[in-house]
Structure formats: structure tokens, C-alpha cells
Amino acid sequence: MRSPSSLVAAFGSGDGAERFAAYQRLVALGADALPAIRSGLASDDWRVRHWSAICMDRVADEDAYEDLIPLLSDPHPKVRLWAVHALACDHCKDDVSCPVDVVPLLIERIQTDPSVRVRRMAVIMLTTDFRDARARKPLEAVLSTTDDRKLRLHAEDGLRRLAEAGL
């Protein structure tokens, strides 16, 4: 059986099937794999950071969330996308809540990220998992500044949810 560190290292080599198999093994190991996964978040290889962030979506503990924040500014958009998801999505984790106020972090991604896919994920996470009045102005700005159909749909949905919540 491979060690958690060798499984994380496998994210940087091989094909997609090998990376996915390593991911599945790490998730099955749970908390025992967390030190290796957290180490992978700081790798020089974007693929290792990317897949480690994906793992964090399933395996994170309250102490590990802080390790994801620097990845929101990662040079690679796939890393940023999964950092957004892993930070904000509580549905994917068992009995762990993020101790970080992620709303300002999501708003920053919506306002500044060069990747429309990252901006979409930030809007989805902001409008699905949170009902927060701070989201209104950034979502309204999305509607007035973007032509991306999917991004607009997610922003409209978020504004509808805020209105339904009385925010």
C-alpha cells in the first residue's frame, strides 16, 4: 500500500486515471492523509496543488482551511477554482464547518479573477451555501458588467435567493 505522501506525489505524474485513483485512496484514508494533502497544497507542481485542493473538499478539518486561502491567488485557474469550492462547500464534508469568513474571499474572486470559470464557481458558492447581504452589490455588479450567460444566470439566481431570504 502506498503512503499518503506518495499518493499526493502521484498527482504530478501519470494520467488522469492514476490521479483519480490516488484521490480515491486519499479520501478513503481521511484524516490520516491530511498532512500529506496539506503539504501538496504548497507543491511547485500546479497539478499537485489542484488535486490536493480537490482532496481538501472531502478531507479538510477546521485547521486546514487556512491552507487553502493562498491558493485563491494561485497562477493556475484550476487550482483557484478548487480552492474556491473547497473553502466554501460544506456539503462535501462530514461534520466540519469552515471557521473562515469566506464571503469576502468569494466576493474578491468574483470581482477580480481573470478566469470566468473561477468567477462562476465563486458566484455559485456564494449564492448556494450562504445567505449574506454582502453578496448583493457584487452580484448586481456582475449583471451590469458581464456578458457571460452562465455567470449572469448564477448571479440572477443568487439575487433571487437573497430576496427570498429578505436580504
CATH code of the domain occupying 101-167: 1.25.10.10
Contact 85, 125 (CB under 8 A): yes
Classify domain 1-100 at the CATH topology level: Leucine-rich Repeat Variant (1.25.10)
Q: Is the pTM of this model over 0.85?
A: yes
Q: Which range (31-35, 63-67, 107-111, 148-152) has the least confidence?
A: 63-67
Query: What digits encode the pLDDT tens for the residues 117-163?
Result: 999 999 999 998 788 999 999 999 999 999 999 999 999 999 999 99
Domain ranges of the chain: 1-100, 101-167
Distance CA 129, CA 164 (A): 14
